[in-house]
């Protein structure tokens, strides 16, 4: 069995990935836990907890103690991911040095980083994972919220001398708790609930949502994100050192923000109007308003990724109920 350590295992994507790996039966899955409560939660799901933090030197000791083969960072930890990369690089270099001293050949320590398609910036023009990002030759600037990520991606790729590396970029994720959509769903749901309490008297009311009406975000279901990372884990040793550009976008659809939120409002039983007031100066809402016409052809052909969930709007009756249930 391959030993996998997931950084961010208790999070939205991390939980889906850990369960995909556990169900396969081909991996021994470890998860970083920052508290005893998080450790218990992981153990309950058959993930072996490592109680530490992303910036702790003790994490390096745990990687060696448990003979971790691949570290997957889906933590979304921003600057702390730089610290993690440095830590993993050090462990990888020490392993290679020890093997060289003993005159043996070993597989490099693997590192898979979760970025996101927001690094492509906003446009309805076709893009793919070979398009440069965060450089003067990039067709569009990365969204402000994730403007630091292209540099981190380059640092990950540059560490291939001591690590086997892959960068995976999911589009805007939905499904299950649809956690990233809460700030847009909540006012619609709250208005619908208030209307019911008041006997439906507010059906002519207006709910203002802070997002760009004309945006068309690229989308992918959280289960398909998990399967994409799962494929990257399976293929990591096969593509490492082959010259294949190890960056893969994951996107299954591009849909109208207007359609997404009006269909959600309908499922929440909000009968009033939805007014789109624009993202303003809010960096997160600007990111949510990014349009992305991406292609995941390379993830399908190189990694063997087979997404199974297509369409946020078409399945909103299910997704809205799942979001409501996750609030409790």
pTM: 0.96
Q: For 38-51, what is each residue's pLDDT tens digit?
A: 999 999 999 999 99
β-pairing verdict for 253-254 and 218-221: antiparallel
DSSP single-letter state for residue 304? -
Mean pLDDT for the chain overall: 95
What does the pLDDT read at residue 328?
Answer: 76
Phi, psi at 13, each rounded to 5°: -75, -40
First-last CA distance in the chain: 37
- Asked whether residue 126 carries a pLDDT value surpassing 90, the answer given is yes
Sole residue written with tokens 């961010």: 8
Question: Number of helices and strands (H, E) in the chain?
Answer: 11, 14
- Asked whether residue 202 carries a pLDDT value surpassing 80, the answer given is no
What domains does the chain contain, in order, with CATH numbers? 2-174+218-253+293-302 (3.40.50.720), 179-215+255-291+315-326 (3.90.25)
Residue by residue, DSSP assigns 219-275 as EEEHHHHHHHHHHHHHHHHHHTTTT---EEEE--EE--HHHHHHHHHHHHT--SEEE
């Amino acid at each position: 069995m391959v030993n996998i350590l997931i950084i961010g295992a208790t999070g939205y994507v991390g939980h889906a990935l850990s369960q995909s790996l556990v169900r396969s039966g081909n991996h021994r899955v470890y998860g970083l836990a920052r508290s005893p409560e998080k450790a218990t939660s992981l153990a309950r799901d058959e993930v072996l907890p490592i109680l530490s933090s992303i910036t702790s030197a003790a994490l390096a000791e745990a990687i060696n103690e448990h003979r971790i083969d691949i570290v997957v960072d889906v933590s979304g930890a921003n600057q702390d991911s730089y610290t993690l990369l440095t830590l993993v690089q050090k462990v990888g270099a020490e392993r290679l040095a020890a093997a060289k001293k003993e005159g043996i050949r070993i597989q490099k320590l693997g590192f898979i980083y979760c970025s996101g398609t927001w690094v492509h910036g906003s446009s309805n023009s076709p893009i793919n994972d070979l398009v440069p990002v965060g450089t003067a030759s990039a067709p569009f600037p990365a969204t402000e919220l994730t403007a630091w990520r292209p540099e981190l991606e380059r640092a990950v790729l540059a560490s291939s001398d001591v690590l086997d590396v892959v960068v995976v970029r999911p589009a805007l994720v939905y499904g299950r708790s649809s956690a990233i959509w809460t700030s847009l769903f909540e006012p619609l749901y709250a208005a619908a609930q208030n209307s019911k309490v008041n006997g439906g008297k507010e059906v002519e009311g207006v709910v203002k949502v802070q997002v760009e009406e004309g945006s068309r975000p690229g989308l992918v279901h959280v289960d398909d994100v998990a399967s994409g990372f799962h494929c990257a884990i399976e293929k990591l040793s096969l593509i490492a050192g082959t010259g294949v550009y190890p960056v893969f976008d994951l996107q299954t659809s591009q849909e109208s923000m207007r359609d997404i939120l009006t269909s959600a409002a309908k499922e929440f039983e909000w009968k009033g109007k939805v007014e789109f007031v624009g993202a303003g100066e809010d960096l997160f809402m600007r990111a949510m308003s990014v349009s992305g016409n991406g292609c995941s052809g390379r993830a399908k052909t190189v990694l063997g990724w087979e997404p199974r969930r297509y369409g946020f709007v078409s399945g909103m009756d299910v997704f809205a109920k799942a979001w409501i249930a996750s609030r409790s």
